[in-house]
Amino acid sequence: MIGGGMYRRSARETRALPRHGRRLLAIALLTCATSTYCFAQADPASEPTVLALAKVLPAVVNINTERVVRRTVRDPFEDLYAQFFGYYRARPREIRQTVQSLGSGFIVDAEGHIVTNQHVVERAADLKIKVTTDDGKNYSAHYITGDDKTDLAFIKIDAPGPFPFISLENVSPNLLGETVLVVGNAVGYGSSISRGVLSATKRDISVDNVDYKNLVQTDAAINPGNSGGPVIDISGRLVGISSAKMAFTPQGVPTQGLGFAIPADVVRDSVNKFKAYAEKHPGGKNPPGGEETAGSNAERLLGLQLQNLSDDLSGALGYARGRGALITAVEPDSPADEVGIERGLVLYRVGNRDVNSVEQVDRLLKPVRSGGNVDLTVGVIRADGSGQRAETVSVTAR
């Protein structure tokens, strides 16, 4: 095209072309003449990403979990009295509440087994898992097993197959720079798609005081609700499972394009282990009971109520800043009370890990079970270095 029109060769220029050149030119002109547009775009339906999504979308599910919790509440004025007068009510009022959460997953075989993140379904009550397929069909599902270390879980649809599934036999080679697609239930909008590249592999990160190992990194958007959904390449092969998004660095610097997924080979190996477990335990190991106690693990297991030590609060108390979590109350006759832990002390270590927030304490106590022992380092470390005291005590969880 020149100046908006087709360039026309003169008869002399055409005769000057070699014979095979004139033949190719004639074929090209004939092709253009029979086409609507000589340089028309390809049909979008034939794009590799569209074809890849057509392969996997029928196997992607939205996951809705529901559980009933018992939540303890106190009159806010009593908290004020406790702060100034040391008054503590041992039996706060209890209410029950239904808590729901959303996530994603995908079917891995024709029988309807689904892999997702452990944190999406770990505390779901028996038979309170609902999955919705891309065609809008709703099913109940039950929890079979999971692994906190890999943050993967295995559930099964309570309906006969066959179901469409994503094969784990041929996973993506995970090449840097390859195009990847994140599929899932982003912020509750099912079958959402985002596109990016595979930015890095073998990433170790910490998000919200949780350590993740050997992840793949992508700049494709990962949002709440994407957890447990597949990340695929443009051939429809599994790259990984959406797991975490780093919105801020540990120093509080905002980030962009830092999403992370559990790599496909880890998913494949875990699914093989989960299937072996399912064969030996046909009923699965649903979480016990239909209710659980809300609140922190420190309160539930040990009888401790904690508060983050802000800089202002540390300054007012004269405590060292940026260290520990303040103990605001100790339940009478609780495991913490029995070993002599008192209100006003600071919890500095759980096991062999330093802590500086309530959230971090809760995460570290998560693996502790009733009857298990945990070492707590408590005391007071003052900003001016005076009157230091801290000791480690062993507490048995109730």
Per-residue pLDDT for 139 more than 70?
Answer: yes
Separation between Cα atoms, residue 292 and residue 123, nearest integer Å: 9
Measured CA to CA, the distance from residue 113 to residue 109 in angstroms comes to 6
Helix (H, G, I), strand (E, B) or coil at 398: coil
Indicate the pLDDT class of residue 51, thresholds 50, 70 and 90.
very high
| 227 a catalytic residue | yes
Residue 28 CA to residue 39 CA, distance in Å, equals 12
pLDDT at residue 171 is higher than 70: yes
Q: Look at residue 128 in the predicted model and tell me its pLDDT.
A: 77
162 preceded by cis ω (within 30°)?
yes
pLDDT, tens digit, for every residue of 178-230? 999 999 988 878 889 999 999 999 998 876 556 778 899 999 999 888 889 99
- What pTM did the predictor assign? 0.59
Q: Is residue 151 flagged as an active site residue?
A: yes
Residue 286: the pLDDT is 44
Q: Report DSSP letters for 85-117, one per residue.
A: H----SS-EEEEEEEEEEEEEEE-STT-EEEEE
Element (H, E) at 197: strand 189-207
Residue-wise pLDDT for 289-321, tens only, equals: 334 444 578 988 998 988 888 777 787 788 888
Identity (one letter) of the amino acid at 175?
A: L
Instruction: Find out whether 64 and 102 touch, Cβ atoms under 8 Å.
Output: yes
Do 116 and 102 meet the contact criterion of CB atoms below 8 Å apart? Answer: no
| Helices within the chain (DSSP H only) | 11-16, 19-34, 48-56, 76-85, 118-121, 264-280, 297, 311-317, 335-338, 358-365
pLDDT band at 28 (very low <50, low <70, confident <90, very high): low
Distance CA 103, CA 301 (A): 28
Which residue is catalytic, options 104, 109, 113, 119? 119
- For the chain, domains (ranges, CATH) are 1-40 (no CATH), 296-396 (2.30.42.10)
Q: Between the CA of residue 228 and those of 51, 99, 182, 201, what are the distances in Å?
A: 22, 19, 11, 18
> What's the rounded mean pLDDT across residues 267-272?
94
Q: What is the rounded average pLDDT for all residues in the chain?
A: 80
Least confident of 184-193, 251-260, 281-290: 281-290
**pLDDT tens digits, 314-334:** 877 888 888 899 898 888 888
Question: Which candidate in 194, 227, 242, 334 is catalytic?
Answer: 227
Check if the beta carbon of residue 287 is closer than 8 Å to that of residue 123: yes
Which position among 151, 191, 199, 334 bears the catalytic label? 151
| DSSP string covering 345-390 | -EEEEETTEE--SHHHHHHHHTT--TT-EEEEEEEE-BTTS-S-EE
Q: Give pLDDT tens digits for 89-120.
A: 445 555 555 556 678 999 999 999 999 998 88
